[in-house]
Amino acid sequence: MIRLIAVWLITLVCAMPAMAVNPDEVLADPVLETRARDLSKDLRCVVCRNQSIDDSNAGIARDMRIVLRERLVAGDTDQEAFDYLVDRYGAYVLLDPPVNPTTYLLWVGPLLFFLAALFGFSRIFRKARATTDLVEELSDEDRALVRSLLNDEETL
């Protein structure tokens, strides 16, 4: 039982996100640091896939965290600092991209793929059902022939 609990605790610890913010990046002002952490959770590392800059150990993520903190220390509002990073690195850095003409396919794409798969499966099942409807019932003569063939097989 103790081993099971130990394995569970180790698994729990390993599943936690690896906060990659280095101690030298942390701001002295706890309010600014909290703002920086909140903003960095919504910004994607441009090197890592689906990892925020707060969780990434990549060098570019470190640079982005530093720039974000510099902007906040300089007096930018949250939105100004956020917009600065988006202007500098592009809309790709947004973990939750806005709905606009350049991202319509991103937002509608999964639905289109689902509908295409649903349409394909419905055609396959419809075609399978149509082929089973084409099978004719055996006549009495055909049944007798099958029975006689089966009986002949049993005698061999």
Tell how far CA 130 is from the center of its chain: 37
Domain that holds residue 136: 102-155
Whole-number percent of the chain with pLDDT over 70: 78
On the question of pLDDT at 155 being above 60, the answer is no
Q: What is the pTM of this model?
A: 0.55
Same domain assignment for residues 93 and 148: no
Q: Which of 62, 80, 97 is the last residue of a domain?
A: 97
- The confidence band for 119, taking pLDDT boundaries of 50, 70 and 90, is very high
Point out the domain boundary residue: 80, 97, 114: 97
In this structure, the answer to whether residues 93 and 139 fall within a common structural domain is: no
Same domain (yes/no): 60, 134: no
Q: What is the mean pLDDT of residues 84-95?
A: 85
Phi, psi angles (nearest 5°) of residue 116: -65, -40
Q: How many degrees, rounded to 5, is the angle at CA 88 between CA 87 and CA 94?
A: 65
Tally of helices (H runs) and strands (E runs) in the chain: 6, 0
Count: domains in the chain: 2
- Based on the fold, state whether residues 33 and 71 are members of the same structural domain: yes
Report, as an integer, the average pLDDT of 60-78.
87
As a whole number of angstroms, the distance between CA 146 and CA 6 comes to 66
**pLDDT tens track for 10-45:** 665 544 444 556 555 666 677 878 888 888 888 888
pLDDT the model gives residue 117: 94
Same domain, 132 and 93: no
pLDDT at 5 over 50: yes
